[in-house]
Structure 1
Amino acid sequence: MTTALPIQTERSVGEAMKRGALGRCPACGEARIFQGYLKVRDRCPNCGEEMHHHRADDGPAYFTILVVSHLAAPLLLLIYTLYRPSTLTLIAAFLGGVTVLSLLLLPVFKGGFIGLQWAKRMHGFENGAPDRPSEP
């Protein structure tokens, strides 16, 4: 006797990552995915999708560092070359700017990583709630 496997429809990677980056559940796009700054809810309160098994560990931090450093380094060089501010002013301004930008981007990248994992059925997302059609 053969066992029929459930038919799994394709999940939109772009849509799931966009929903995650906006801080929403990648499955339904309605409820908030975070219950704090970076603490992911165990389950979506709207659709019931389990999220406790996500594996967005160091990836979001690496991407945040990559983006922030690639934005800050040329800007630092440009401002120093054009205006020649004092060292203390330059350090203070860039330290503050880099900190704020990092804190803003980290949850965006973490949500995107969780959306990618959900769309690709990675790390336990393959047995989650049934697929839902994309909203227009």
Structure 2
Amino acid sequence: MTENEEALYPPVDPIRVGLQGCCPRCGRGRLFEGFLKLKPQCSACGLDYDFADAGDGPAVFVMLIMGFLIIGLALWFDARFAPPVWLHALIWVPLATILSLVLLKKFKGIMIALQYRNNASEGRIDRD
């Protein structure tokens, strides 16, 4: 951020704005147009979202967290109650699907906000 941008837009908490799906510069405009599709720019401050490229990062974090959570809960549930397999499928498949979709949007917002805050970009080789 330049000094002019810092004066106009004081730094916002990237975790908070990422979880809320707000603009990483002003914290007011919306980040997403659809479920996971980014808007072209912020409606409040005009920040162009072309810099944003979360890649596969959010999906990797969600898979790791959900795998740990769902498998742990399923193992505990099986040891405690010994339900039939169909009941496991009835409980864990919808739960994993819904939680994964919710977490994916939240983590994508956080990754983009952190990318803006740290001025992160794709690595390039300088050839002088």
With the shorter chain as reference, the TM-score category is: 0.7 to 0.9
**In the alignment, which of 83, 88, 98 is matched to residue 85 of structure 1?**
83
TM-score norm. by structure 2 comes to 0.83
Alignment of 1:19-34 (within 5 A): 19-34=17-32
Alignment of 1:54-69 (within 5 A): 54-69=52-67
Runs of 4+ in 1 over 4 A off after TM superposition: 6-9
Contact 1:16 1:27 in 2 (8 A): no
TM-score norm. by structure 1 comes to 0.79
Deviations 1:71-127 (A, max 9, x none): 111101000001011101112210111001001100000000000100011239xxx
Q: Give the number of equivalent residue pairs.
A: 117
Larger RCO, structure (CA 8 Å, separation 6 or more): 1
Distance 1:41 1:91 in 2: 36
Higher helix share: 2
Distance 2:119 2:46 in 1: 16
2:29 alignment partner AA: A
Please tell me the root mean square deviation across aligned C-alpha atoms, in Å.
Answer: 1.9
Q: Which runs of 5+ in 1 are unaligned?
A: 1-5, 125-136
